[in-house]
């Protein structure tokens, strides 16, 4: 794979990647090219498996980051942002430029487009003025042509732009969108679970610094406006005869609602001239199946379809928006779906969501249901209703985040932090100080003797904490996903920063607790036994007994010796040890020992 930057409109650099077939392999049919698109929380760098698979099958593969995604960012297009006024039109221009570069000198019949999510919408826009773009077009989990859903999203994000900042990352919009998309999943640990059931894949997307950004309200305004625009073609516009289309979607697909929204999409494509429209459900997949080439063999399926060796015939039972929302409301609401809620009842529902987040989904479904019934009058009515509700909605969301944060901090304080005779600080994902114990203050006073710490000024504590974080050194464990770092101050190890499992959910919030920083109170003072146990509990999510046993094993004792020391059966020790192995992601006693000694207990002990 190699990459280059193109220059888009407004002088925006656009990253383009290529997976080119070995020049020694000259296919008899001439060169063939495929362009691979990305989705909202992803970028072209995540498509390496898919690009390499197409190259192996004899296709030159190309991909690119639309502005506001991946490495196509800058002052005017930061990550997760599109300009409120013309962001969508510029994204269309980006997409067209990628296609011009990918398909230069490639015959129409040897061009293939594979696009999910927002790049599927952008491709529909490009096709309006470039009807012979490619003979073979594959749409993967495209946002459906359900006007009421797009209208709600557009109106909601437009209101967020007007009442707040259009170009500031907005966690509230991100949370509601993915909660809405994932409401049909039986198990959902993270909003990104709508993409895949593969936990390792989800974790890699979240951990990618260019993936899973928190978009701005202006970004969502463009996306939902684009969703309305992409499915509305000028009168008489059509693709050239012979253009084929394949729609791939997952068995638990959030975009197409497991195929329920598929029939109207197929009818639209037929109306604008597509031939041979086929659809295929990929069981076990969700909306980001394009990231799971190794699991599902997406490239081979598509190439077989292009060669007319695979003729999928998916029959999907159509479900309308009104039917879907009515069904969901009947299960979640005490009121019937057909009963309109007064403004006061909607406000009450907002505040009920502080303790029960499903109430926000109920509001969204209810408004979409009303918009579907209202037809052409829906947008102005929606705008008025959301505008009056938004101050309460935003307050309830912020209160919910605060309650969750306080609950997390409360549990940590009660169970661990005040038991530790070392300095402990809780930081958010940006390294800002959220809470610290008295011993942390004392440790800072020792480390910075020239600073006046006579009063616990929060700004000064934050400043000194950030100074310490500049001395972070990655521990080998961090390269295997443990994310542990040693803190060095004036060439001396003074502390350790780690990301406990207990903070995994709250760390996803903006300014939510994400990591723990522990500092030595003095170089000579040893860590007391109960502090060692408490620290292992916190660092690795172990129970008290599991932590005791893990420390004994790390101290060189055998399971039999640990059982004797604790006065319990050796089988009980082995049971606790097995659970500790699982939580710490280790497989042997030596790995457990190494993990503990290279972690906060080892450095502070």
Q: List average pLDDT for each run of 10 residues in the chain, which is 605 residues long.
A: 93 96 74 96 96 96 97 92 96 98 96 97 98 98 93 94 91 90 78 90 87 94 97 95 96 84 94 94 94 97 96 81 74 57 86 87 87 74 90 91 74 64 82 84 87 75 89 55 76 85 70 82 64 82 89 92 91 91 90 87 71
The side-by-side arrangement of strands in the sheet containing 433-436 is 433-436, 423-428, 513-519, 492-498, 485-489, 472-474
Is the residue at 160 inside a domain? no
**3-class state of residue 283 by DSSP:** coil
Domain limit, last residue, from 271, 306, 341: 306
CA 266, 268, 269, 274 torsion: positive or negative? positive
pLDDT of residue 405: 72
Domain total for the chain?
3
Are 60 and 96 members of one domain? yes
- 200 in a structural domain: yes
Name the token pair of 521.
Answer: 């109170």
Most distant CA atoms of the chain, gap in Å: 84
- Residue 535: the pLDDT is 81
- Contact status, residue 394 vs residue 350, Cβ threshold 8 Å: no
Considering the domain architecture, whether residues 274 and 326 belong to the same structural domain is answered as: no
Cα separation, 157 vs 150, in Å, equals: 11
Q: What does pTM read for this prediction?
A: 0.76
On whether residue 109 sits in a domain, the answer given is: yes
Q: In this structure, what token pair is assigned to residue 81?
A: 């942002």
Query: Each residue of 328-371: pLDDT tens digit?
Result: 776 666 555 555 678 888 899 899 888 888 889 888 988 888 88
Q: Indicate whether 347 belongs to any domain.
A: yes
Last residue of a domain, one of 306, 340, 372: 306
DSSP state of 438: H
Judge if 346 and 456 occupy the same domain.
no
Question: Would 417 be classed as within a structural domain?
Answer: yes
The predicted structure's pLDDT at residue 455: 63
3-state secondary structure of 498: strand
Q: Based on the domain organization, do 222 and 356 belong to the same domain? A: no
Are residues 530 and 417 part of one domain?
A: yes
The answer on 529 and 467 residing in a single domain is yes
| Residue 572 to residue 430: CA distance in whole angstroms | 41
Place of tokens 């500790």: 580
pLDDT for 238 equals 97
User: Does residue 577 sit within a domain?
Assistant: yes
Q: Is there a single domain that holds both residue 417 and residue 525?
A: yes
Q: Same domain, yes or no, for 433 and 521?
A: yes
Q: Per DSSP, what are the bridge partners of residue 367?
A: none
What is the pairing mode between strands 60-64 and 13-19?
Answer: antiparallel
* Residue of 120, 114, 115 lying closest to 143 (CA atoms): 120
DSSP label at residue 46: G
Which of 258, 273, 306 finishes a domain?
306
Instruction: Specify the CATH number for the domain of residue 511.
Output: 1.10.10.10
Q: Which residue range forms the structural domain that includes residue 388?
A: 321-411
Helix, strand, coil shares of the chain as percentages rounded to 5?
50, 15, 35
Whether 151 maps to a domain, the answer reads: no
Q: Is residue 152 part of a domain?
A: no
Cα 466–Cα 472–Cα 475 angle in degrees, nearest 5: 150
393 plus 530 within the same structural domain: no
φ and ψ at residue 279, rounded to 5 degrees: -135, 145
Report the distance separating Cα 15 and Cα 71, nearest Å. 6
- Written as six digits, the tokens of 588 are 């042997």
pLDDT digits (tens, 9 = 90+) for 267-300: 999 999 998 999 999 999 999 999 999 999 999 9
């Amino acid at each position: 794979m190699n990459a280059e930057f193109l220059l888009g409109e407004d002088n925006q650099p656009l990253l383009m990647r290529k997976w080119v077939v070995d020049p020694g392999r000259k296919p008899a049919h001439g060169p063939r090219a495929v362009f691979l698109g990305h989705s909202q929380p992803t970028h072209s760098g995540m498509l390496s498996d898919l690009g390499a698979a197409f190259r192996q099958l004899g296709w030159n593969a190309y991909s690119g980051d639309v502005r506001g995604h991946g490495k196509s960012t800058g002052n005017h297009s930061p990550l997760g942002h599109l300009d409120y006024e013309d962001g969508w039109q510029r994204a269309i221009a980006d997409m067209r430029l990628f296609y011009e570069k990918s398909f230069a000198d490639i015959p129409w019949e040897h061009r293939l487009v594979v696009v999910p999510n927002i790049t599927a919408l952008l491709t529909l826009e490009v096709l309006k003025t470039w009807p012979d773009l490619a003979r073979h077009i594959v749409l993967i989990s495209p946002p459906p042509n359900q006007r009421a859903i797009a209208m709600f999203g557009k109106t909601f994000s437009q209101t967020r732009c007007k009442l707040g900042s259009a170009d500031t990352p907005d966690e509230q919009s991100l949370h509601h969108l993915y909660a809405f998309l994932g409401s049909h999943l039986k198990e959902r640990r993270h909003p990104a679970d709508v993409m895949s059931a593969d936990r390792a894949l989800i974790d890699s997307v979240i951990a990618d610094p260019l993936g899973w950004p928190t978009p701005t309200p202006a970004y969502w305004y463009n996306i939902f406006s684009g969703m309305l625009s992409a499915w509305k073609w000028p009168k008489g516009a059509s693709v050239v005869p012979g253009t084929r289309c394949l729609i791939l979607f997952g068995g638990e697909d959030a975009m197409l609602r497991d195929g329920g929204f598929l029939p109207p999409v197929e009818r639209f494509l037929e109306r604008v001239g597509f031939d041979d429209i086929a659809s295929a459900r990929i069981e076990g997949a969700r909306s980001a199946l394009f990231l799971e080439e190794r699991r599902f063999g997406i490239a081979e399926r598509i190439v077989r379809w292009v060669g007319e060796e695979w003729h999928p015939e998916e029959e999907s039972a159509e479900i309308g928006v009104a039917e879907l929302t009515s069904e969901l409301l009947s299960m979640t609401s005490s009121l019937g779906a057909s009963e309109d809620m007064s403004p006061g009842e909607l406000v009450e529902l907002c505040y009920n969501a502080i303790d029960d987040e499903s109430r926000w989904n109920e509001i969204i479904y209810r408004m979409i249901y009303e918009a579907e019934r209202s037809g052409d009058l829906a947008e102005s009515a929606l705008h008025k209703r959301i505008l009056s509700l938004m101050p309460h909605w935003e307050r309830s969301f912020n209160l919910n985040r605060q309650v969750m944060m306080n609950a997390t901090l409360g549990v940590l304080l009660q169970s661990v932090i005040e038991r530790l005779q070392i300095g402990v600080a809780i930081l958010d994902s940006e390294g800002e100080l959220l809470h610290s114990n008295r011993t942390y203050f004392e440790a800072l006073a020792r480390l910075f003797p020239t600073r006046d710490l006579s009063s616990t000024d929060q700004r000064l504590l934050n400043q000194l904490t950030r100074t310490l974080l500049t001395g972070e050194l990655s521990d080998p464990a961090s390269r295997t996903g443990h994310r542990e770092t040693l803190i060095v101050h004036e060439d001396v190890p003074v502390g350790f920063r780690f990301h406990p499992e207990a903070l995994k959910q709250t760390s996803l919030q903006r300014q939510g607790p994400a990591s723990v920083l522990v500092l030595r109170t003095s170089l000579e003072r040893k860590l007391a036994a109960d502090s060692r146990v408490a620290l292992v509990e916190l660092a690795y999510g172990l129970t008290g007994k599991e932590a005791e046993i893990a420390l004994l094993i790390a101290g060189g004792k055998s399971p039999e010796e640990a059982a004797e020391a604790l006065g319990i059966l050796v089988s009980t020790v082995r049971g606790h040890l097995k659970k500790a192995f699982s939580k710490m992601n280790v497989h042997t006693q030596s790995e457990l020992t190494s993990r503990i000694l290279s972690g906060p207990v080892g450095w502070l002990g």
